[in-house]
Each structure stands twice: as structure tokens, then as C-alpha cells.
Amino acid sequence: MLAVLRELNASGRTIVLITHDQEVAEAASRQIHLRDGRVVG
């Protein structure tokens, strides 16, 4: 599944992926973390 998302992103599409799995999150070029509904460092 991550390979498909990478292909789509490489073709210019924006991908928003929400996960609790740190290994999956590390596949992203950018991460935004939330805690209690707020963006944190």
C-alpha cells in the first residue's frame, strides 16, 4: 500500500495519511503530530 501512495505522490498528488504506527509514519517526507487535538512540535 505504501508503494502505491509513493507512486501517487511522485506523480504530483498530495497524500494525507493518518496512522498511529510510527514505522508507517517514517515513510512520509513530512509529519505533523497531534496531541489532544492540537498540533505539537
State the DSSP string of 1-41. -HHHHHHHHHTT-------S-HHHHTTSS---EEETTEEE-
pLDDT above 90 (res 32): yes
Q: pLDDT grade, residue 41 (50/70/90)?
A: confident
Q: φ and ψ at 7, to 5 degrees?
A: -60, -45
Residue 15 confidence (pLDDT) above 90: yes
